[in-house]
Amino acid sequence: MFPPFDEALAFKYCKEIISLLEEKKLSLVYTTEKISAERFANGIMIGVLVAKNSAQENKIFFTVSGISRKIEGKFQDAIFVEPIVSSKKIMSALQKNDKEIHLLTEKLKACRKEEVQDLQFRRSAFTSESLEKVHELYSFYCFDGKNRPLKQICKNRLPPTGTGDCCAPKLLNFAFKNNLTPLSMCEVFYGKSTENKISDCKYSPCDERCGLILPEILGLKILYRDNDLIVVNKQSGLLSVPGRGPEKQDCIVNRLKKLFPECIEQPSVHRLDMETSGLMILAFTKDAHRNLCRQFEEGLVQKKYVALLDGILAKKGIPQSGTMELYFRLDIENRPHQIWDSVYGKKAITEWKILDVEKYLSPLENKKNVTRVLFIPHTGRTHQLRLASADSHGFGVPIIGDTLYGHCEPGERLMLHSCYIKFTHPSTGKVMEFNCECDF
């Protein structure tokens, strides 16, 4: 994961904590009774969050990874953040199946070859049940102040052991629970260096566990961030900018301003349809906003999209690749639909490449053949790719899940994703490229 907040100030405090540990002015102690020699020798991540409270005062919060250790002693006026779920509660949740799992493990060591598969299956079932019991204990306060269960965040998938025990989710959960605004956050490894971790070095939140839950906790999946701009992976179903009415205020822009209050009032430099997912750029400063808007207006930003179309394009005689030029305008009697108009319509130029024909299973378990297409828009017209697909002047084959120009089953999303973007950084002049795989 890309670090969601600036790391500089928090990194400074992490280093100070490590120095105090080395000088024995702070103590790293174990909170559980049984600790193996191997675990005792393991290093640990130390995390610091600097956040602003309701009185606009900067406060320091720190923690360590895992549930079995804590730091004791005074560090400035900082507060140590405890695990979201105590080791005692976790041990209690594991207790039910613990004996059976150990018995099956012992049987596996001495069993005949033909018994291995059955014993492994039984042990796996007990282990999964125990892990689910543990995960039921976890919930996280998120950017909007709401508390969300881990099972809801992971959409009932079984996340890895230890999900929620890293520094970042502990610190952010504490911040949002207590109405704090994060300013700086960093994690530093402390202990004997290994192939994967070097002592005193900072590390981003892990992809394996934090990558599953931090986007939900933060409200944004941050792919890149600096002082000028941020690149996010917008989820399908979320507005890019606020609409009219209180029910249309939850959007990428307002979530960004909630996380980064110093952001300019209008940070968006382009938009994605609510149903479209993928790469979106926003600016933190007026100068960056002005520069990026100019790049979009002058066609200097390169974009690519992936879509699943509801049918086989080759059967309609559509070639493997090509470019189309279409003309559309707003249907003023049926907003926000766009309609073909060769006289008054705005020109929309779209390059395409057929990637594959594949099987698709809808939420209602309807099976169909679909075509995966790569779109490269050379203009930025409203609903350009949806019309290039669905309109009779284009392919005449709508994108799966298109509520405006096609058909959308209950529980289905628009299968359109912004997978690539290339632009020039407004301050450094460096060419920036981002790829973002779709989840369909």
DSSP-assigned states of every residue in 217-264: HHSS-EEEE-SSEEEEEEPTT-BSS--SSGGG--BHHHHHHHH-TTS-
Burial of 326 per CB tally in 10 Å (0-12, 13-18, 19+): buried
Which pLDDT belongs to residue 116? 87
Whether the CB-CB separation of 51 and 59 falls below 8 Å is answered with yes
Q: Which residues contact 195 (CB under 8 A, 6 or more apart)?
A: none
∠ CA 337-338-340, nearest 5°, is 140
Do residues 398 and 377 both lie within one domain? yes
- Whether 3 is covered by a domain: the verdict is no
Cα 212 from Cα 214, distance rounded (Å): 6
| Domain assignment present for 190 | yes
Give the range with max mean pLDDT: 40-44, 78-82, 99-103: 78-82
Task: Give the range among 48-52, 108-112, 175-179, 283-287 with minimum mean pLDDT.
Answer: 108-112
d(CA 376, CA 304): 5
Which among 420, 413, 418, 338 has a CA at the least distance from the CA of 382?
A: 338
Same domain, 47 and 118: no
**Residue 179 phi, psi (nearest 5):** 55, 45
Tokens coding 222: 């941050």
Q: Based on the fold, state whether residues 51 and 94 are members of the same structural domain.
A: no
Residues 236 and 319 in one domain: yes
Closest CA relative to residue 372, chosen from 395, 391, 396, 353: 353
Q: Strand, coil or helix: what is 189?
A: strand
- pLDDT on residue 310: 97
Residue 416 has pLDDT above 70, yes or no: yes
Q: Which of 98-112, 164-178, 356-370, 381-395 has the lowest mean pLDDT?
A: 98-112
Give residue 32's pLDDT: 77
Alpha-carbon span 389 to 103, nearest angstrom: 59
Residues 306 and 428 in one domain: yes
Judge whether 288 lies within some domain. yes
Is residue 186 domain-resident?
yes
**pLDDT value of residue 98:** 86
**Predicted pLDDT of residue 40:** 53
Burial of 110: CB neighbours in 10 Å, binned 0-12, 13-18, 19+: exposed
For residue 364, what pLDDT band results from cuts at 50, 70 and 90? Answer: very high
Q: What is the pLDDT of residue 304?
A: 98
Q: What is the pLDDT of residues 131-154, one digit of tens each?
A: 899 999 999 999 999 999 999 999
Mean pLDDT estimate for the chain: 95
User: Shortest CA distance to 354 belongs to which of 318, 321, 385?
Assistant: 321
Flag whether 440 is in a domain.
no
Contact indicator for 205, 215 with CB cutoff of 8 Å: no
pLDDT score at 102:
85
Give yes or no for residue 293 having a pLDDT over 80: yes
Residue 273 and residue 214 share a domain: no
Q: Is residue 2 part of a domain?
A: no
Residues 365 and 402 in one domain: yes
DSSP E strands, 26-177: 27-30, 44-52, 58-64, 69-72, 79-80, 139-141, 147-149
Mean pLDDT on 89-110: 87
**pLDDT at residue 425 in the model:** 98
**Same domain flag for 50 and 108:** no
Same domain, 176 and 234: no
**Who has greater pLDDT, 106 or 178?**
178
- Percent of the chain at pLDDT > 70 equals 98
Q: Count other C-beta atoms under 10 Å from residue 27's C-beta.
A: 11
**C-alpha distances in Å from residue 276, one per residue of 93, 399, 405:** 40, 11, 14
Residues spanned by the domain of 419: 224-435
**What is the reported pTM?**
0.92
Angle of helix 210-218 versus helix 167-177 axis, rounded to 10: 20
Which one is catalytic: 6, 273, 310, 402?
A: 273
Q: Is the pLDDT of residue 383 over 70?
A: yes
Domain end point (choices 183, 218, 253): 218
- Looking at the domain assignment, is residue 24 inside a domain? yes
Query: Domain of 405: which CATH number?
Result: 3.30.2350.10
Question: What do you get for the CA distance between the two ends of the chain, in Å?
Answer: 21
Among residues 218, 249, 276, the one where a domain terminates is 218
Beta bridge partners of 254: none
Mean pLDDT of 227-239: 98
Residue 148 domain-assigned (yes or no): yes
Please tell me whether residues 303 and 236 are part of one structural domain.
yes
Instruction: State which of 35-39, 88-92, 377-381 shows the largest mean pLDDT.
Output: 377-381
Lowest-pLDDT range of 117-131, 166-180, 208-222 = 117-131
At 35 the pLDDT is 54
Task: Provide Rg for the chain, Cα atoms.
Answer: 26
What pLDDT is attached to residue 39?
Answer: 53
* Neighbouring residues of 93: CB distance < 8 A, sequence distance ≥ 6: 130, 133, 134, 136, 137
Which of 162, 187, 218 is the last residue before a domain boundary?
Answer: 218
- Give yes or no: 310 in active site: no
For the cut 70, the answer to whether the pLDDT of residue 37 exceeds it is no
The helix/strand/coil state of 374 is strand
Q: What's residue 342's pLDDT?
A: 95
Which residue(s) pair with 353 in the sheet?
321, 374
154 and 41, same structural domain?
yes
> pLDDT at position 320, please?
97
The answer on pLDDT for 41 being more than 80 is no
pLDDT tops 70 at residue 409: yes
Distance CA 302, CA 203 (A): 31
* Residues 1-21, mean pLDDT to the nearest whole number: 97
232 and 201 belong to one structural domain: no
Question: What's the structural domain count of the chain?
Answer: 3
Average pLDDT rounded to a whole number, residues 54-82 = 96
Note the pLDDT tens digit of each residue in 175-219.
999 999 999 999 999 999 998 899 999 999 999 999 999 999 999
User: For the residues 278-301, what does the mean pLDDT come to?
Assistant: 98
Residue scoring higher pLDDT (64 or 88): 64
Higher pLDDT, 426 or 128: 426
For residues 376-385, give the mean pLDDT: 96
Backbone angles phi, psi at 252, to 5 degrees: -60, -45
Contact 188, 18 (CB under 8 A): yes
